[in-house]
Structure 1
Amino acid sequence: MPEHLRALIVILVLACIVFAFARSPAADLIPNSDFKRRRNLWLALSVLAFISHSFWLYALITVVVLTIAQRRERNPLALFFILLFLIPPAPVPVPGFGLINYFFILDHLRLLALLILLPAFVALARRAGTLPFGRTWPDKLLALHLLLSALLHLRETTLTDTLRQTLYLFTDVFLPYYVASRALKQLSEFKDAMLAFALAAMVLALIGVFEYTRHWLLYNSLIDAMGMRGGMSNYLGRGGSLRASASTGQAIVLGYIISVAIGFYLFLHSSVRSRLQQRLGALLLAAGLFAPLSRGPWVGAAAMIMVFIATGRNAAKRLMLLGLAALLSLPLLSIIPGGNKLIDLLPYIGTLEKGNITYRERLFDNAVIVIQRNPLLGSVDFLNTPEMRSMIQGQGIIDIVNTYLRVTLESGLLGLALFAGFFATIVLGIRKSLRTFQDKDDETLRLGRALLATLLGVLLTITTVSSISAIPVVYWSLAGLGVAYIQMVRSLKPLHVTTPIAT
């Protein structure tokens, strides 16, 4: 039996285990009919991907399936999230049929944006009561960021390619943000969308644990079977263990996705009645976070937990207990089997692969030199500078493992100001929203705490990774959730809040 079909069997078994255990707790948050429909859709499209032997056949049938599925879907963002990590986002050029080389690059993420988010955008824009784009500060800063990015592409490429890049900005940045910021207006809709993301991440978590323990990357064979190229990493190890990547293509991307799911779970778990199911979900996500052996997402997840605690009751006491538990865990780990290996993996504490930290420090120093030459708008040839060329790794690439550096190198301090300012206004808006609640146990307040913690954790994590694969799609969507939350709080009755929120 071909490897990709053997992998399909394993993936279906693991996914069914997660869905079976999740069915009962999911019923505490969403209607069972929604859970069953999305579960069946995930399983059906997974089977289709592995047996189609062609990305184009997969895409054609997916168009039909999703067109039908959306007629019964109440929450397009939830549908988008549950399918977001279904298969690796390997790029496939849409042929130009002799007119041009190719029309644009398509992958699974972009396919979902066109099939789910684009119709949702059109419907929301026409719906009475939808906040017009441009009314909030995040909208304005994002519009300026997109405009600047599109204009700067003209420096380095043709008009045709600039139009192509502008299309990518629309599908990969604007659509996730717009739909997330406009589609959710009630607490139940937030639960629905966040649960869909968490379920998709839990499936990835169990697959990642399997890959880590069995030394088998289950999705690698799918790329060749579907006639695609790239989008997946080779078998990479750390400390003698395989780094899991599941369908994300990169270990650090998998860790990033699991960390975001942990942030969402800080809110979701309180709605699950069974304490045992709460703990099993947390344990699965923790195991999934460990399996990629990616330290940046570990730090991001830790930051999420700390921020969530810091914005709740008895924050000082709970943070002290958390810090004490972390300190006591180190000597305990040193005496249990395998504990020293885990300590060696910890960033700044462990001794394993310290060269990665040194590389990041050198990258920052060299990038600052390059940025100083073109501080306002960056440059198109920054990769060809002597400082950047000295950063070439063994694979022959310059890995700019810092999203903020990449933004600044490409679009200068102006681009960085727009990018960082966009997220800063959302963080401040959520923080202001939290201060308006009288009842500190309010469920809506808990949602805001989780969104604030998750967003801050993500903004910390992307200092250690480029915006590759699904990483930017997730943080633009998360930003949209933050804006939707601020707008929802503004619409609450005065009984629940003390003052309105301004954005």
Structure 2
Amino acid sequence: MPEHFRALIVILAVAGIVFTLARRSATDLIPYRDFTRRRNLWFALTLLAFVSQNFWVYAGIAAIALTVAGQRDRNPVGLFFLLLFLIPPASAQIPGFGLINYLFDLDHIRLLALCVLLPAFFTLIRQADTLPFGRTWPDRLLAASIALTSLLYLRETTVTDTLRQTFYLFIEVFLPYYVASRAIKKLSDFKDALLGYLLAAMVLSLIAAFEYTRHWLLYDALIDALGMQWEMSGYLSRGGSLRASATTGQAIVLGYVVSVAIGFFLFLHVYARSRLQRFLGALLLAAGLFAPLSRGPWVGAAVIITVFIATGRGAIKRLMLLALAGALALPMLAVLPAGEKVLDLLPFIGTLEKENITYRERLIDNSLIVIQRNPLLGSFDYRSTPEMQALVQGQGIIDIVNTYISLALKVGLIGLALFVAFFGTVLLSIRKSMRSFPDKDDEERRLGRALLATLAGILVIIFTVSSITVIPVVYWSVAGLGVAYAQMVSRLRHTQTAAASNASLQLR
């Protein structure tokens, strides 16, 4: 039996376990028919990808199925999140039919955005209650960032390719942000969307645990079966163990995806029917976070948990207990059979692959020299400078494992400032909106805590990795959820003020 068919059997079995265990809790949050339809679509598209033997066959049939599903689904963000990590986002070129070299590169994420998010975008802009784009500071900063990036493409490529790159920005940056920030309007919508992401991440987590224990990347053979090439795919190890990657292509990307899911789990876990379900969910995500053996996401997950606790009831006491638990865990690891290996993997403590930390330090030092030459708008040929060439690794590549450095090199300090200001305004709007709920156990406040913590964790993790594969789609979507949260709270305040005013008039 071909390897990708054997992998398919494992993937279907693993996903079946997750969906079965999560069904009862999930259907307490969303209608059963929505859960069933999305689950069945997940299985159908996975089967299609593995048996089609050709990416274009998969893309053609999937496009029809996704378009129909998007029209029927009441929450396009929930559907988008559940299917976001379905298969690896390896791309293929749509031919230009003699007019141009090619139209654009198509992958699973772009296909999903075009079939689910684009129709939702056109629906939202026609609705009277949709906040027009540009009314919020994040909107304006994002628009400025996209415009600047598009214009700067002209200095390094043709007009045709600049239009192509701008199209990518539209479907990979604008659409996830816009639909997430406008389609989510009620608390139930947030539960639906976050549940979709959490279910997808739990499937990935169990797949990652299998890959780690069996030393087998389940989706590696799928790329060959579809007749595609993808430089992101490949076996990597750390400390003699395979670093799982599932559909994300890179171990650190998988850790990032699971870290975000942990932030969402902090909000959703209280709706689980039993403590056992909550424990199993937490254990599964912990396994998914560990299996990639990526330290940046571990730090990010710690930030997420810390920020979530710090913004809740009894923060000081709980943070002290968390710190005590961490301090006690270290000596326990030292005496356990496999504890020494775990300690070697820990950031700031372990000694394994310290050269990666050294490389990151050199990257920052050398990049700062290059940035000083073109500080405002960066340069398109920064990789050819002597300082960057000194960073060429054994694979012949310069791995810019820092999103902020990458932005400063490509679009300068102006582009970096727009990026940081965008996320800063989203964080401030979430924090300000949380103050509308003095009761720290309130549902809406707990949602704000989870979004604030998750976004803070993301901003820490991307300091250790460039924006590859699914990373940017996730952080633009989460930022959109943050804007949607602020708008939801604003509407609640307006409704409460109007109700109080009406009550006052009636008393008079």
How would you bin the TM-score normalised by the shorter chain?
over 0.9
Name the residue aligned to 1:360.
Answer: 360
Name the residue aligned to 1:272.
Answer: 272
Q: Could you say what secondary structure the match of 1:93 adopts?
A: strand
Matched AA of 2:263: G
CA-to-aligned-CA distance 1:282-323 (integer Å, 9 cap, x gap): 100000000000110000000000000000011111111101
CA drift at 1:497: 9.2
Match runs of 1:8-407 below 5 Å = 8-230=8-230, 232-407=232-407
Cα distance change, pair 77–222 in 1 and its aligned pair in 2 (3 A) = same
In structure 2, list runs of 5 or more residues that go unmatched: 499-508
Given that 2:66 and 2:112 are in contact with CA atoms closer than 8 Å, whether structure 1 keeps it comes out as no
Name the residue aligned to 1:423.
Answer: 423
Q: Output the aligned Cα RMSD.
A: 1.2
Mean Cα displacement is larger for which, 217-226 or 231-240? 231-240
Cα distance change, pair 496–361 in 1 and its aligned pair in 2 (3 A) = farther
Residues in 2 aligned to 1:364 and 1:203: alpha-carbon distance in whole angstroms: 35
Residues in 1 aligned to 2:231 and 2:492: alpha-carbon distance in whole angstroms: 44
Given that 2:401 and 2:466 are in contact with CA atoms closer than 8 Å, whether structure 1 keeps it comes out as yes
TM-score for both structures, normalised by structure 1: 0.98
Q: Could you say what secondary structure the match of 1:94 adopts?
A: strand
Identity %: 70
CA drift at 1:495: 8.6
CA drift at 1:333: 0.5
CA-to-aligned-CA distance 1:56-108 (integer Å, 9 cap, x gap): 10011011212222232100011111100000000111111222111111110
Given that 2:150 and 2:166 are in contact with CA atoms closer than 8 Å, whether structure 1 keeps it comes out as yes
CA drift at 1:494: 6.4
Given that 2:70 and 2:115 are in contact with CA atoms closer than 8 Å, whether structure 1 keeps it comes out as no
Given that 2:66 and 2:115 are in contact with CA atoms closer than 8 Å, whether structure 1 keeps it comes out as yes
CA-to-aligned-CA distance 1:412-452 (integer Å, 9 cap, x gap): 11001100000000001111111221222110000000000
TM-score for both structures, normalised by structure 2: 0.97
Mean Cα displacement is larger for which, 66-75 or 43-52? 66-75
Residues in 2 aligned to 1:238 and 1:466: alpha-carbon distance in whole angstroms: 20
Q: Could you say what secondary structure the match of 1:475 adopts?
A: helix
Name the residue aligned to 1:501.
Answer: none
Q: How many residues align?
A: 498
Residues in 2 aligned to 1:284 and 1:222: alpha-carbon distance in whole angstroms: 25
Matched AA of 1:454: T
CA-to-aligned-CA distance 1:322-369 (integer Å, 9 cap, x gap): 011101100001111101100000011001000000000000000000
Given that 1:91 and 1:231 are in contact with CA atoms closer than 8 Å, whether structure 2 keeps it comes out as no
Given that 2:150 and 2:165 are in contact with CA atoms closer than 8 Å, whether structure 1 keeps it comes out as yes
Given that 1:88 and 1:232 are in contact with CA atoms closer than 8 Å, whether structure 2 keeps it comes out as no
Matched AA of 1:335: V
Cα distance change, pair 439–494 in 1 and its aligned pair in 2 (3 A) = farther
Residues in 2 aligned to 1:40 and 1:273: alpha-carbon distance in whole angstroms: 23
Residues in 2 aligned to 1:253 and 1:335: alpha-carbon distance in whole angstroms: 31
Name the residue aligned to 2:472.
Answer: 472
In structure 1, list runs of 5 or more residues that go unmatched: 499-503
Given that 1:363 and 1:391 are in contact with CA atoms closer than 8 Å, whether structure 2 keeps it comes out as yes
CA drift at 1:275: 1.0
CA-to-aligned-CA distance 1:170-218 (integer Å, 9 cap, x gap): 0110000000000000000000000000000000000000000000000
Q: Could you say what secondary structure the match of 1:479 adopts?
A: helix
Residues in 2 aligned to 1:329 and 1:28: alpha-carbon distance in whole angstroms: 36
CA drift at 1:496: 7.0
Residues in 2 aligned to 1:317 and 1:255: alpha-carbon distance in whole angstroms: 29
Name the residue aligned to 2:506.
Answer: none
Q: Could you say what secondary structure the match of 1:217 adopts?
A: coil
Residues in 1 aligned to 2:54 and 2:139: alpha-carbon distance in whole angstroms: 38
Given that 2:76 and 2:120 are in contact with CA atoms closer than 8 Å, whether structure 1 keeps it comes out as yes
Given that 1:88 and 1:231 are in contact with CA atoms closer than 8 Å, whether structure 2 keeps it comes out as no
